[in-house]
Structure 1
Amino acid sequence: MEVTTEQLLTAFTETLYMVTWSLLFACIIGIPLGVLLVVTRKGHILQNTVIFNILNPIINILRSVPFIILLVALIPITRFIVDSSIGVKAAIVPLVFYAGPYIARLVENSLLEVDQGIIEAAQAMGANAWQIIWRFMLPEGLSSLILTLTTATIGLVGATAMAGVVGAGGIGNLAITYGYQRYDNITMLVTVIILVVIVQSVQSLGNFISRKIRRR
C-alpha cells in the first residue's frame, strides 16, 4: 500500500501543529528561565546564587536526557495532562519538556552577549531591573534571540520525527510506519525531503529576520 498525497498532507499538518504548540509553550517556559539564569548569576543586576544554583543544574539535567528516553519517562505525566500517551497532542508534553530547557540555555547565551556597558549605562540612568531587562537587554539581544528560536524550532522538527516511533503522528510516524516497517524506500525518501525542506525554510526565515533586525 503506497502513501497517498492526503496522508502526506495530514502528516505535514500534524508536524506543524506539534512544532507550533510545543515551541509556544517551550518559549513561555524557556525565555523567562533564560533571563533568570542571566540576571541572577554572580555580578549581574539581580544576583541571587540560590536561584541560580537551583535552576542551572535542573536545566543541565533535563538537557542531558535524550529525547527518546524523555518521551517514555514522561508517559505518566503526559497521560495525566492530555489523558493519552499517544497521538499528536500527547507528543506536545515531552516536546515542551525537551525544548524548554534547551531554549533557556540558548536565551542565556544570547543575552550574555549583550554589551555590559549598555547595562551599566542603563543603571546610571536610574533604570530598575525590569526596565533593564525589557528595554535594554532583550532589544539588544533580539537578533541573536531570533537565531536562538530558529535553532530551537529546527530541534523540535527533528524531535517530532523521533516522536513518530511511539505513534505520535506527523512525518516521523509516516516514515516509521510506511517507510521503515514496510520497506518503502520511496516513502522514506519523500519524508526525508519534506523534513529537509522544512528545516531549510525555517533556517532561511530565521536568518532573514535576524539580518533585518541587526541592520536596524
Structure 2
Amino acid sequence: MSAREEILGRIDRIVPARPAAEVAAGYAAIDRGYLRRHHEDGVLDLFAERVADYRATVLRVPASELAATVAARLAARPGAYGVPADLPEEWTSQVSGDLVRGPDVAALDGLAGAVTGCAAAIAETGTIVLDHGPAQGPRALSLVPDYHLIVVLAGQVAPDVPEALERLDPHRPLTFVSGPSATSDIELSRVEGVHGPRTLEVVISE
C-alpha cells in the first residue's frame, strides 16, 4: 500500500462515503432561489467586453472567417503550435506553420503556443472554462506554453455562472480562464505568465 492509499484510507474511515442516493437528495435540496442571469440580450457583447477587461485580445469573426483568423494570429508569432489531437481541422486549415497534434508533455515548453477550444464561457465574468474534453487537450497544453489562443463558439457562451455550470461535468478536471495568467507580489506589482500563458487571445466564432 502506498502512502497516498494509506492516507486516503484513514480519511475514509473517519468520514465514511455516503450512499449516492443520499448525496443526490442533498444536492437537490439546496435552495437555488438566486437570480440565474443578469442579462437577456447582448450576451456576446458583454462577454467580449469582460474578456478584454482582463487584458486578453478578443476577436469576433463570422464562422466563415474562423480559419483565416486563426492562421493570421499564428503567423504573427512564428513557431510550432500545439493543438489537441481532435481539434477540428477546419479551424486550422489555412495555417501554414507547424502544428503539433497531441504533443507530449516534454515538448510543450518548446512550443510557441497552443490552440484549443473550450467547454463553456461565462459572459458576466468574462471567464472561459475548459474541461479538457473535445478540442481542448490535456490541462498541461493550456498551462505550459506562453501563448494560448482559445476558440469560443457563440453557442458556448452562457449569460451567467449558474447556466454555465449546468453545462459542465463536475467529475471532469475544470480549468477556469479569466485573462492571461497573472499574480501580484506584496507590493502589488503585477506579473503575468507565472502560472500559465502570458498572452491570451480569444476568437469568438459567431
Same fold (TM over 0.5): no
Larger fraction in strand: 2
Larger fraction in helix: 1
Q: Which bracket does the TM-score occupy, shorter chain normalised?
A: under 0.3
Q: TM-score normalised to the size of structure 1?
A: 0.21
